[in-house]
Amino acid sequence: MNAPTLWIIFPLFLGILLLFITNQRVLSVLGGFIAVALALIAQFVPIELAMKLGPLSLKIDSSLTVLGRVLLIQPTEGHLLALIYGAAALWFFGAEASKVAPKIVPIGFMVIALLVASIAVEPFLYAALFIETAILLAIPMLTSIRKPPGRGVLRFLIYQTLAMPFILLAGWLLAGVEASPGDLALAAQSAAMLGLGFAFLLAIFPLYSWIPLLLEETSPYLVGFLLWILPTMTLIFGAGFLDRYSWLRSSSQLIVGLRTIGLLMVVTGGAFAAFQRHLGRVMAYGSIAETGFSLLALSLDFKIGIPILFLLIPARALGLAVWSLSLTILGEHVETMRFDAARGILRLTPLAGAGMVVATLSTGAFPLLAGFPARLALWEGLSRISIGSALWMMIGIIGLLVSAFRSLAVISVAEEYTSWEPRESPTQMLMLGLGMIGLFLLGLFPQSVQFMLANLPLMFERLGR
């Protein structure tokens, strides 16, 4: 057995088989438990180390050759796989409550497998093809045969696809830089192409207009899943470039650029969220600010920034899962999620309303919630470099907190003498309750995930060491 077969090929074919199952509960439970099993194997079964189980000897090889190309999962990457598949299990278990299990579970497995392949393939140039295939697979998740795709889906496909030629061209130029490291013009051109490619992939300002549109047109749970997995894997893929090329790591212009773009994402995300009048668009700009926090982490000293980057991942996964599930449930009871239509909805969906507000507060670094520890560490690291940058980050956070309190005011204000009539199903109440408890526990005890995060920086040869 080898690691690429277990964590790439198996989930890919499993996703294809699960397409033929339509039962919501079976898909949700089966997908969740398989994702948990893959996470546990990645966490506790070492790669490239023989283990004896009675008379049997088990060893997971790290590489697989396919059509002359190598898929390589290093022993140090097992903890990353555990984190990704463990977070995926949260989304799959919540799929029944969101009533989108036939889409998110099968296609989710395939998308995750392809994105894992993108960071495992050698030469790395082929990663762009895996990412583009994952993007194309996500389109059936977001569309329906009953109606044509909306503007958000079209922009998502166009912007993500535009990233591919830039990354492929950057890979070709980077090969020339390796051959002629003294050619500054070639290095600048490759850095520019790489920056444009990641700007499209990460939806950097002003290329994120498709995110609010998607959350108006499509199920928030499906969009939330993509807003978690795509930026997370793209950031890890991008960090691999910094680890591979010393001239990128040591470039002061790149560090300043990452900090500027990160602050721009945080400030615009927070400011736009504060003035939205649509609950879905508030989540859209919250996810944009999340990406900004990750870029700010990469702009710090790598020994500090890389651990913060990985600390942001569990909070983002859990926060977006609770937020998107809450919005999906709220959307079942209102015609539209605009403020005027959602007024007083808290009396019909109290747990969904609470989950939405708690997740928004977590994204806004509210104390004792999951997002607070990582943002506090990020704020402290940023303040050591520039007080002005720390103040700009605070402005973005204030905007996110304002959006949380505005949303709470809208959903809680109802006509006088309106009675409480909770309409959430037991499954929805269970998943929302567990999700909110998780947000509090992750904020109170951030060290509880350190057994997964502590060794993650080791997957890079130079960053974070």
pLDDT in tens, 233-277: 999 988 888 888 777 777 778 888 899 999 999 999 999 999 999
How far does CA 119 lie from the centroid of its chain?
A: 15
How far apart, in whole angstroms, are the C-alpha atoms of residue 295 and residue 290? 9
Query: Does pLDDT of 461 surpass 90?
Result: no
Q: Is the dihedral of CA 197, 199, 201, 202 positive or negative?
A: positive
pLDDT exceeds cutoff 70 at 464 = no
pTM for the model stands at 0.93
Does the pLDDT at position 355 exceed 70? yes
Q: How confident is the model at residue 393 (pLDDT cuts 50, 70, 90)?
A: very high
Q: Are 456 and 80 in contact (CB under 8 A)?
A: yes
Predicted confidence at residue 313, as pLDDT, reads 92
Please tell me the predicted confidence (pLDDT) of residue 54.
65
CA distance 200 to 207: 6
**Among candidates 91, 82, 176, 81, which has minimal Cα distance to 125?**
176
pLDDT at 182: 62
- The yes-or-no verdict on residue 281 having pLDDT over 70 is yes
Give me the percent of the chain exceeding a pLDDT of 90.
48
Which pLDDT score, from 0 to 100, does residue 421 have?
79
The C-alpha atoms of residue 404 and residue 356 are separated, in whole angstroms, by: 8
Percent of the chain at pLDDT > 70 equals 95
pLDDT of 119 > 70? The answer is: yes
- pLDDT given for residue 184 in this prediction: 67
Calculate the dihedral angle through the C-alpha atoms of 219, 19, 200, 81, rounding to the nearest 10 degrees: 110
Question: Is 146's pLDDT higher than 90?
Answer: no
Instruction: Answer whether 303's CB lies under 8 Å from 310's CB.
Output: no
Token duo for residue 229: 């997995």
Residue 405 to residue 201: CA distance in whole angstroms: 31
Judge contact between 372 and 452, C-beta under 8 A.
no
- Buried (b) or exposed (e) across 65-79, using 16+ Cβ within 10 A? eeeeeebbbbeebbb
Distances (CA, A) of 171 to 33, 127, 134, 197, 356: 38, 10, 19, 11, 41
pLDDT band at 6 (very low <50, low <70, confident <90, very high): confident
Q: Has residue 3 got a pLDDT over 70?
A: yes
The band of 293, judged by pLDDT with boundaries at 50, 70 and 90, is very high
Count Cβ atoms below 10 Å from residue 178 Cβ, excluding itself: 10
The pLDDT value given to residue 190: 79
Q: What does the mean pLDDT of the chain come to? A: 87
Q: How confident is the model at residue 177 (pLDDT cuts 50, 70, 90)?
A: low
What pLDDT score was predicted for residue 89? 94
Tell me the mean pLDDT in the region 49-76.
76
Phi and psi at residue 345, to the nearest 5°: -65, -15
- At residue 420, φ and ψ (nearest 5 deg) are -85, 125
pLDDT at residue 53, as a whole number: 64
Q: How confident is the model at residue 223 (pLDDT cuts 50, 70, 90)?
A: very high
Between CA 161 and CA 133 the distance in angstroms is: 10
Q: Collapsing DSSP states into helix, strand and coil, what is residue 203?
A: coil
